[in-house]
Chains A and B, each alone.
Chain A
């Protein structure tokens, strides 16, 4: 069993190394800055909680090479993103576009905040009213008849 585990471990490590490609050599700082900013906005599809910039996965390496190639071909950031979205869907974007199926995603947090705020506000109001009525307990028994006659 331990031999099998060891073999699996070696296999896992080998897979990682087999894919590690050469690092990208940037022409200048501006290109590097643009590449870093762009790849940080793109999601790695293999390890889904890492960006393309952070991931060591083989596909991420391929996609990084493709991104830098397209940048050097003169494509702008939007065009590079479109290339990836056409193949992998909106999922590759860390900031998905605002469209009908992402409305909840974009507006949900704000809506929740609003609902929470309203609940807090209502709570605070009822409590201040309760506290206010508790702080003047002596007057209250005399008042009811009065207030009723006013209304």
Chain B
């Protein structure tokens, strides 16, 4: 009977390691301390219209998804069709935050990939993105009509993630307003 203890220990260890392995993909996704907190203040130029600045206040009044992307970012390419579909669906405003990019490259990328977003704001040095806790692209933020961050997704959005994670988060916005 005593001989079974090492076996039980081994099985428990195996289960522990399996849990660790299964969760390894999520380790790259660091929970943001900004959830349910006011989005950082910003005032950034519009892509294609460097003279006109867009601030956080300008976007208050309606919820929106802020999608951090760059022309040099390969996963952004993968995610773009799904985000384009979301923008076209009219469920919610989708804006782009062009991250550490050049204007030429960004505009070319949109020409090729298609642009259904309401607009794009430009963070060439990445300082505003730093305030948002961005540590790579793509990342997406759901910001409510009062300017609070309510949901964040790190990595490329897919149709599946939009349906299973973003849509419920948008539905929760509506509930909290009523």
Give A contacts to B, CB under 8 Å: 11, 15, 18, 45-46, 48, 58-59, 62-63, 66, 85-91
Contacts and interface: CB of A to CB of B under 8 A. Distances in A.
Given A18-B72, A89-B133, 13 more contacts: A45-B30, A58-B100, A59-B126, A62-B127, A63-B130, A66-B130, A86-B33, A87-B34, A87-B131, A88-B33, A88-B133, A88-B135, A91-B30
Contacts of B127: 62
Interface string B117-148: 00000000111001111011000000000000
A48 B27 contact: yes
Contacts of A46: 135-136
B40 to A, nearest CB: 8
A88 B33 CA distance: 7
Contacts of A59: 126, 135-136
Interface of B: 27-28, 30-34, 72, 74, 100, 125-127, 130-133, 135-136
A73 to B, nearest CB: 15
Nearest to B134: A59
Contacts of A88: 30, 32-33, 133, 135
Contact of B32 (A62, A63, A66, A89): A89
A125 B33 CA distance: 50
B33 A45 contact: no
21 contacts: A11-B74, A15-B72, A45-B135, A45-B136, A46-B135, A59-B135, A62-B125, A62-B127, A63-B130, A66-B130, A87-B33, A87-B131, A87-B132, A87-B133, A88-B30, A88-B32, A88-B135, A89-B30, A89-B32, A89-B33, A91-B30
For the complex, would chain A's binding face be called helix, strand, loop or mixed by DSSP majority?
Answer: helix
Given A15-B72, A45-B135, A85 B126 contact: no
Contacts of B31: 89, 91
Contacts of A91: 30-31
A90 B27 CA distance: 14
A90 B31 CA distance: 10
B72 A87 contact: no
